[in-house]
Every structure is written in structure tokens, then in C-alpha cells.
Amino acid sequence: MTATSPPRTAAVAPAELRDAIREAIARQRTLRVVGGGTWLDANRPVRAETTLPVGTHAGIVEYEPGDLTLTARAGTTLAEIARATSANGQWLALDPLGDPSRATLGATIATASYGPLAHHFGTPRDMTLGVEFVSGTGDVVRGGGRVVKNVAGFDLTRLVTGSWGTLGVLTEATVRLRALPAVETTLLIEIGSATAELERARTTLRALPFVPLAAQLVDAAARGAIGAAGARDAFVVRLGGNEESVRAQREQLRSVGDARDVEPEIWLRARVAEPARAAVVRLSQLPSRFATTWCDAGRITERWPGSYRHGDPGRGVVRVVLPVDESTSNGSLRAALEVPFEGTRIYERLPTALWPALAPTAMHGAIDRGVKAAFDPHHLLNPGVLGELQ
């Protein structure tokens, strides 16, 4: 990508895609929206008559490096965006799980998926500037815009971000880019397993005068999965900035513990390390209770062979991954997942049979149901993925 922007395409959804959606609506056929197919087994099972592939609606629509914004069709992969932007020293600071050469921008926004970089940069809601989608009523709808600040109209961008395709099929999005740090380095700090030691490390990390690009606590099993083997829990910390700043950050990080350099590929490996079949739950609480959350998550992993946990102390979230296969007993899996925890459990992946018992719905009230009814009155889009009530 050069510094000149590619020609702007017409501001409508690719007609073919829009027509396919409209036809399905006209025929009242339920649709399973599929981007790169990376997260097909995530969230509740979808029961749909037809698959709507949107991955082919790909390509960068507008990229003016000086604006630090990029508009791309929903099927554009994160890898393609990374290629175009890195040529200009920029990036979309989002690293959701999944192979970036398959994961699409549309699915990332639709599922509000995020990765370790959320520690510093936030989640898709914080960097999506505008969207275009075809709603369940067949309307081509735009929310937001292409500039970095915009309060015109009600915020349809936030509404569809994380809506799992249940309100409309994303066709295009504009995102905010950042400059790539001039210098980057990744360090690993081992800590003891005692809650008090973790809490001391967490508060020390939090009190540092900088916020790392990412800070993940990984247990021994997770370390094995990402190629940083070791027996103890460890913080993997990603630093970025100008040369002087990174040098100082590295120095200051020593107050947390002994830090050693690890290869930056660790971050990519973490994105693709997940077993093909797994049950996944995120436990979240206030950051000040992170050590407790981590230990509670440990009660799940100690009950499940091959499982691991990783967490973000800044966000207060611990993610637990439990491999499953045909022989898995749903009863014992449920027992493992339901260890006592005072906080919010959000399930990402579960065997089909466990969803109704563990998390029947994400539609918690009349407003959620009203929003669904307003944008997809016939319940045609990804039916069931949020457990919406009929």
C-alpha cells in the first residue's frame, strides 16, 4: 500500500450480498452468517437453514495513512489489514484469537473479540468508527462515519459491535489505526503461586508509570502452549515506545520481578494455540480482585487435564480453556466450570448440550429483546447464537 489512497467505492453494500440477504428475508429463511469461519463453534449453537458466506466481500475500501483510519469490507482479513498498514508504520491494534490470515474484520467486530492488546488499546468498541450493515429488515444501514470523532445520530456502531450478527450482517467498517511503536520488546516475569505474591506483582505492575501494550498472566500449561515453557505462573509483558522509553520501561519492570526477554512470536502463537475442540469461559471481576479470580480459575484447571488459563490483570479477566473430545462427560465438565466464583462468567465455547444449563441467554431484558425485534423482526440472522428468546 502506498501513501496514496485507493479509489473510493460506491457507498453501498456489495449489491450481491445485500440481495442475498433480502432474498432470504423475503423467503423467511434463517441465515448463518460466516466470515472466515474462525469462530463457528463459538457462542451458542446456531440453527439456520442457509449459510451466508461473507468472507468473499473483502478488500480495503479507503486507507489514507495520514488520517490513521482505514475502511474495509467485512470479509477483509486482519492479516491483509496488517500488511497494508505496517507498510506505513501503522497497525490496527487488535489481536483477537484465531489465525489472522483467516479472521475477518467483520467477524472481529461482530463478536467484539479482543486479545492481549486490549490491555492498552481497548476492545473493538473503542476503535470502530463506523459500520455499514444490512439489517434483518433488508435495509442497508450506516452508523458512525469515517472520521475519528463523531456524535451524529444514535450509535448504531456500538449497537452492532458484539451483536454476533443478530441485528444485521456487517458489510463494511471503518477503524482507527495507531502508529506502530518504534521499539517493541516482550519480557517474561515468573511469579510464585501464592495469592499474596500474585497480588503484590499485580499492584506493582499497575503502579508503574506506563501501561504496557499487553500484560498477560499465564499458567504453566499455557506457557507450554505458547512456547515459553516453565513450571511457574508468569507475566508476559509487551512493551512499546521510543527507544528511551522502552529502555526505561524495561528497567522499571524489574520492580515486578526478574524479567527475561522472550521472542515476540509468542503473541501469534497464543492466538492459534487453542485446541480445535474446547470449552472456554472468561471469568471477570474488578482488577483489584484479580488474584482471587486467578485462583478461582485455578480450581477449574486443577479439575481438568490439559486445561490452562491466561488473564489480563488490567481488565480483571481470566480466560480458562478446557480441551474436550467425544469422550468428555458433560456432567464432569459442568462440575469443573461451576466452581464457586463471585463474578461474571462469560462462556465462549461449550458443548451444545451445556449451553441451556450454563448460559441460556445473553438477552437479559426487554431492551435486548426490543432491539432484536427492531432490527431482525423475523429472527432470521444467526438464530440462537445469543440464546434470544422467541
Q: Which of residues 2-61 bind another protein (CB under 8 A)?
A: none
Site for another protein in 348-377 (CB under 8 A): 359, 362-365, 367-368, 370-371, 373-375
Site for another protein in 197-216 (CB under 8 A): 209-210
135 near another protein (CB under 8 A): yes
> Cα separation of 172 and 113, whole Å?
17
**% helix, strand, coil for the chain, step of 5:** 30, 25, 45
> Considering only CA atoms, which of 110, 137, 30 is closest in space to residue 382?
30
313 near another protein (CB under 8 A): no
By CB under 8 A, name the one of 7, 10, 66, 326 that touches another protein. Answer: 66
Which runs of E-coded beta strand occur in the chain? 31-34, 50-53, 60-64, 69-73, 90-91, 128-135, 140-144, 168-176, 178-179, 183-191, 214-218, 233-241, 259-261, 278-284, 308-312, 317-323, 344-349
By CB under 8 A, name the one of 7, 10, 244, 305 that touches another protein. Answer: 244
295 near another protein (CB under 8 A): no
Query: Which range binds another protein by CB under 8 A, 49-57, 153-161, 257-265, 273-281?
Result: 153-161
> Is 200 buried (19+), middle (13-18) or exposed (0-12) by CB count in 10 A?
middle
- List Cβ neighbours of 32 (8 Å cut-off, separation of 6 or more): 46, 48, 50, 51, 52, 382
Residue 77 or 174 having the CB closest to another protein? 174
By CB under 8 A, name the one of 145, 224, 275, 306 that touches another protein. Answer: 145
By CB under 8 A, name the one of 87, 194, 229, 286 that touches another protein. Answer: 286
Q: How far is CA 334 from the centre of its chain?
A: 24
178 near another protein (CB under 8 A): yes
By CB under 8 A, name the one of 4, 154, 331, 390 that touches another protein. Answer: 154
Site for another protein in 258-277 (CB under 8 A): none
User: How near is the Cβ of 289 to another protein at its closest, in Å?
Assistant: 8
245 near another protein (CB under 8 A): yes
Q: Which residue type, as a one-letter code, is found at position 298?
A: G
Residue 29 or 125 having the CB closest to another protein? 125
Query: Which range binds another protein by CB under 8 A, 45-53, 62-70, 95-103, 220-228?
Result: 62-70
Q: How far is CA 73 from the centre of its chain?
A: 18
By CB under 8 A, name the one of 85, 113, 171, 249 that touches another protein. Answer: 249
Residue 30 or 361 having the CB closest to another protein? 361
By CB under 8 A, name the one of 241, 298, 311, 351 that touches another protein. Answer: 241
156 near another protein (CB under 8 A): yes
By CB under 8 A, name the one of 112, 220, 295, 354 that touches another protein. Answer: 112
> Cα separation of 46 and 197, whole Å?
43
Residue 152 or 276 having the CB closest to another protein? 152
> Is 72 buried (19+), middle (13-18) or exposed (0-12) by CB count in 10 A?
buried
> Cα separation of 62 and 70, whole Å?
6
65 near another protein (CB under 8 A): yes
Please report, in angstroms and rounded to a whole number, the separation of the first and last CA atoms in the chain: 47
Query: Which range binds another protein by CB under 8 A, 53-61, 99-107, 235-243, 323-331?
Result: 235-243
Residue bearing cell 492459534: 272
CA separation, residue 289 to residues 44, 196, 283, 284, 348 (Å): 29, 11, 11, 9, 22
By CB under 8 A, name the one of 120, 247, 303, 378 that touches another protein. Answer: 247
